[in-house]
A and B are shown apart, each in its own frame.
Chain A
């Protein structure tokens, strides 16, 4: 007889997604392998991270444990990072999940999960009688039906393969969606300082291929909920982006415009006469360059250009500049590039515009932030790229932002969103500082 899981393919996929592109390997199935603890136990110890699934007629319930199944004697000693989740079998197959540390004790007739945050509450599982008792704590967290004890049809245990790093990842992933949503809400509700303008303009400046256009696409993708391709991206010897573009982003396909605009420019090149002209930059900053202006690498825009905006107002100006760099190449920029960049920075400083650094293409995007998502973690900050940017550009650490754009994958990922949205939020703050700093007239 073939051993086949009761988990549907869709449920499996949502679990894989929750845990970060993992594979699930069925180790134990109570109706096939026997419903004694020892049947389960023999197959599940020393398998690394596991998911234990309990199937009931109306819904299913699962427990992810990062650490091994404990040895029988060990009980209650080792704390295990765990995620509890449930699938509602009704209409939408919604999945809810809660992250909780717990300890597991295996006795001769049942499994008992205990929670340090509420030591009197247990989750207990009797394989033989096929009953499960879910404590109130979980019922509330998962929004389950309030009858706490019920009979189940089947219990399965899977090994989880390909889980990313240790505790940190798991610790974050269950809170990621929540944090992402609250960041989204913050950004939607943002209003520029003293309502001086209705939208702030953020200019993306950086070398060819550093990911400026991709950053705009990534931001738009998050607000639309799927990958978008509005800005054309790719790689070539010269810049793919040849036009100045002022993009506004809608909150969903038919939503209203969000309170910011991202201004995408042609990439900087170390050679003279190639890429964005440094002399164009002051005009861009002042708001004289119109949307869709075709850059010419040889000669900067002049007031004679028919579309030149001769008397730009505050709303046309750039309120924040983001210097965009590929984090993998910042340490080996050519001296010519550095020199060019110094010129660029001089122009920006002259105009008094706020600035931040935006690093793209980070490899370990799950390890950038601290567990609480509120700042970069220590090891990231100590990396040479960040330190160099801090020194070379004179930008405070809190305004050095690290993201991974949606460039190589096809699925949205809440942890990636958090990096991108946090970067955007810091840019808003920088823009506010600039607006506040303006002389009254």
Chain B
């Protein structure tokens, strides 16, 4: 019999969130370690806060004990309702009181040997359970730890430093350009401008909001912006440029499709005012006539709001596919960035530490793969600063990892260029 929990990912996650972004470690499982209170207490003593979960045919219920056995403390009983978790407090007493009959606890009694829970009428009402005696098939006990504890924060901070160093010292392939240009493309409100702000914030050392960030509907960015980023306030310019464009829209208001080839070639100048109705015309005004390799886009990042994935309109999907064909024609490599994962159901900040393992995120990645045809390994999760005042290493690590992938992708583009194209103008 394997030592793995009977809780589904969703159930476990709901419980973890209910008790404050915890991580669970399974210590005891009755069907493996015997239905015996002695065996349970032996394995679960001195383990810090623990949670006991009882699986009956129709119910999942249990008790959260916030202190190490054998300390006394208030114990929180819980039961899964259809959509919520009900709870009530008993105690204070120690964990073992839940498993042995005693005068001090007549509210909630787990008899492992008989596989039965006895619940007082009072508690039964509070938990919204239908009966006083519930027989069960399985009992599991988990240790509860904070997801973002000091150990992980230390690790993340170290990782952030090594990513920062890798990016600072990055040199574009073969010295063909000094800085690579990364174009952010995506629907209005996907988080393109926010991604730039988030990257800039890491290098600045505090959260900044240089690029105006808009709302879901209208979009704020109407100008083409090519942002250089300094390493610190007066440091060197970093070896990449993030190019922020107007959002795509299925209606007529977004970026004009005919502008895209011009942007890719580097004909569109910084601060160019987009016009949804009329693409930029060669030879006119500020059209850059003879762009060099350094002016071209070396990597494109498609940015999508994770919530919108699966609900993109057919027009939008069609647009994305057309743009991708255009990119293939120009040989520009591309990746996908998924934003707003923090707002997916059940996902909390702590999950960002291992975000690719989270079921809702996996489903989103697969949906992007299926609907838009991007390879799974080309899709990266990022997390933008929205309401934070201070830097969060866990967010930075995600954003910097994605950025490093884009720099590598730009290298691939530069390496792929035919030699004669590395110097001529387009």
A48-B2, A214-B375, A236-B373 known; A230+B46 contact, CB < 8 A: no
* B91 proximal to A (CB < 8 A): no
Are A159 and B46 in contact, with the CB atoms below 8 A? no
User: What is the bound-complex CA distance between A27 and B32, given in angstroms?
Assistant: 15
* B310 proximal to A (CB < 8 A): no
User: What is the bound-complex CA distance between A434 and B45, given in angstroms?
Assistant: 69
* A349 proximal to B (CB < 8 A): no
* A42 proximal to B (CB < 8 A): yes
Indicate which residue in B46, B409, B412 contacts A33 across the interface (CB closer than 8 Å): B46
* B160 proximal to A (CB < 8 A): no
Complex: chain B residue closest to A247, CB-CB: B416
* B70 proximal to A (CB < 8 A): no
B1-44: CB near A (< 8 Å → 1, else 0) gives 01110000000000000000000011100001100000000110
Are A407 and B376 in contact, with the CB atoms below 8 A? yes
Indicate which residue in B174, B376, B409, B418 contacts A408 across the interface (CB closer than 8 Å): B376
User: What is the bound-complex CA distance between A10 and B173, given in angstroms?
Assistant: 30
Are B328 and A1 in contact, with the CB atoms below 8 A? no
* B143 proximal to A (CB < 8 A): yes
Indicate which residue in A3, A46, A240, A291 contacts B46 across the interface (CB closer than 8 Å): A3
CB distance from A433 to the nearest CB of B (A): 31
Are B47 and A3 in contact, with the CB atoms below 8 A? yes
Are B405 and A5 in contact, with the CB atoms below 8 A? no
Are B47 and A292 in contact, with the CB atoms below 8 A? no
Categorize the interface residue count of chain A: 35 or more
- Inter-chain contacts of A413 with B (CB < 8 A): none
B385-423: CB near A (< 8 Å → 1, else 0) gives 000000000000000000001001101110110100000
* B324 proximal to A (CB < 8 A): yes
CB distance from B167 to the nearest CB of A (A): 14
CB distance from B321 to the nearest CB of A (A): 7
A9-B154, A232-B333 known; A409+B377 contact, CB < 8 A: yes
- Inter-chain contacts of A233 with B (CB < 8 A): 375, 378
Categorize the interface residue count of chain B: 35 or more
Are A228 and B151 in contact, with the CB atoms below 8 A? no
User: What is the bound-complex CA distance between A334 and B415, given in angstroms?
Assistant: 38
Are B377 and A227 in contact, with the CB atoms below 8 A? yes
Indicate which residue in B26, B154, B416 contacts A25 across the interface (CB closer than 8 Å): B26
CB distance from A250 to the nearest CB of B (A): 8
Indicate which residue in A228, A234, A250 contacts B373 across the interface (CB closer than 8 Å): A234
Indicate which residue in B4, B47, B151, B412 contacts A8 across the interface (CB closer than 8 Å): B151
A311-334: CB near B (< 8 Å → 1, else 0) gives 000000000000000000000000
Are A9 and B156 in contact, with the CB atoms below 8 A? yes
* A58 proximal to B (CB < 8 A): no
Are B415 and A27 in contact, with the CB atoms below 8 A? no
Are A48 and B152 in contact, with the CB atoms below 8 A? no
A1-43: CB near B (< 8 Å → 1, else 0) gives 1111100111011000000000001110000110000000011
Are B151 and A240 in contact, with the CB atoms below 8 A? no
Are B48 and A240 in contact, with the CB atoms below 8 A? no
- Inter-chain contacts of B288 with A (CB < 8 A): none
Contact residues, A383-419 vs B (CB, 8 A) = 406-410
- Inter-chain contacts of B375 with A (CB < 8 A): 214, 233-235, 407-408
Are A2 and B32 in contact, with the CB atoms below 8 A? no
- Inter-chain contacts of B329 with A (CB < 8 A): 242
User: What is the bound-complex CA distance between A234 and B370, given in angstroms?
Assistant: 10
Are B143 and A4 in contact, with the CB atoms below 8 A? no
Are A9 and B155 in contact, with the CB atoms below 8 A? yes
A78-91: CB near B (< 8 Å → 1, else 0) gives 00000000000000
User: What is the bound-complex CA distance between A235 and B368, given in angstroms?
Assistant: 11
User: What is the bound-complex CA distance between A10 and B159, given in angstroms?
Assistant: 9
User: What is the bound-complex CA distance between A177 and B151, given in angstroms?
Assistant: 28
A1-B48, A229-B409 known; A234+B374 contact, CB < 8 A: yes
B43-80: CB near A (< 8 Å → 1, else 0) gives 10111110000000000000000001000000000000
* B327 proximal to A (CB < 8 A): yes
Complex: chain A residue closest to B334, CB-CB: A232
CB distance from B7 to the nearest CB of A (A): 13
* B345 proximal to A (CB < 8 A): no
User: What is the bound-complex CA distance between A214 and B49, given in angstroms?
Assistant: 47
Complex: chain B residue closest to A8, CB-CB: B155
* A198 proximal to B (CB < 8 A): no
Are B3 and A159 in contact, with the CB atoms below 8 A? yes
- Inter-chain contacts of B100 with A (CB < 8 A): none
Contact residues, B143-173 vs A (CB, 8 A) = 143, 145, 149, 151-152, 154-156, 158-159, 173
Top-7 shortest CB links A-B: A9-B155, A230-B412, A408-B376, A235-B373, A2-B48, A25-B25, A234-B373
A-B contact pairs, 15 of them (CB 8 A): A1-B46, A3-B47, A8-B155, A9-B156, A27-B27, A27-B43, A46-B33, A227-B377, A229-B408, A229-B412, A230-B413, A232-B327, A232-B333, A233-B378, A235-B369
- Give me the interface of B with A, judged by CB distance under 8 Å: 2-4, 25-27, 32-33, 42-43, 45-49, 68, 143, 145, 149, 151-152, 154-156, 158-159, 173-174, 321, 324, 327-329, 331, 333-335, 356, 369, 373-378, 380, 405, 408-409, 411-413, 415-416, 418
Q: Known pairs A2-B49, A43-B27, A214-B375; list 16 more (Cβ under 8 Å).
A: A3-B47, A4-B151, A9-B156, A13-B155, A25-B25, A32-B46, A229-B408, A233-B378, A234-B374, A235-B373, A235-B375, A242-B328, A242-B329, A406-B377, A407-B377, A410-B380
